[in-house]
Amino acid sequence: MGLEDQLQRVADELDIRNVIHRLAQLADEGTLEDYAALFTDDAVWDAGVTVGIRRGRADIIAGGRERRANGVAGPGTHKRHVITTTAIQVEGDRGRARSYMLFPVDCDGAPRVGIVTVYQDEFHRTASGWKLAHRKIEPA
């Protein structure tokens, strides 16, 4: 692999890592429209039978609204998505990542970890950059 290919791989991995981290920040503090803009149009957000599966940006936004309305996540809930260990693989215009996510609660007082999950993510390179195409959320 030549230097140019290596630089492109590093740039791609950093871009994907930034999407993962930006999604966590927007889930906690941002608008759902900005959050959904980081997904492909036909993305799948899959948290299994307990939380559900969302397909496409509009449905992902609807799921975010439900979680915010129920106080599960989002502004004012005093909860955070904390991404820790992430491994990324890039092959051309496709990428995969596996990340651990800690979900501290009571962040305004004495924080404690509420849950620990694993994100299994698939990314696609688009004309506007890397987008999340599929997220499977699994227990750690």
Q: What pLDDT, on a 0 to 100 scale, did the predictor assign at position 140?
A: 86
Q: What pLDDT, on a 0 to 100 scale, did the predictor assign at position 128?
A: 96
Sequence-separated (6 or more) residues with CB below 8 Å from residue 50: none
Instruction: Say yes or no to pLDDT of 3 above 80.
Output: yes
Q: What pLDDT, on a 0 to 100 scale, did the predictor assign at position 84?
A: 95
By DSSP bridging, strand 53-55 and strand 39-46 are antiparallel
Query: What DSSP assignment string belongs to 78-139?
Result: ----EEEEEEEEEETTEEEEEEEEEEEE-TTSS-EEEEEEEEEEEEEEETTEEEEEEEEEEE
Q: What pLDDT, on a 0 to 100 scale, did the predictor assign at position 30?
A: 93
Average pLDDT of span 100-114: 96
Average pLDDT of span 94-101: 98
**Signed CA dihedral, 17, 25, 140, 48: sign only:** negative
CA 97, CA 75: separation in Å to the nearest integer? 26
Report which of 104, 86, 107 is spatially closest to residue 95, judged by C-alpha positions: 86
| Three-state DSSP state, 2 | coil
Average pLDDT of span 92-103: 98
Q: 8: part of which helix (H) or strand (E)?
A: helix 3-29
In tens, the pLDDT along 17-64 reads 999 999 999 999 999 999 999 999 999 999 998 889 999 999 999 999
Q: What pLDDT, on a 0 to 100 scale, did the predictor assign at position 138?
A: 96
| Three-state DSSP state, 34 | helix
Q: What pLDDT, on a 0 to 100 scale, did the predictor assign at position 1?
A: 77
Domains and CATH numbers, the chain: 3-139 (3.10.450.50)
The torsion defined by the Cα of 111, 85, 134 and 73, in degrees rounded to 10, comes to: 10
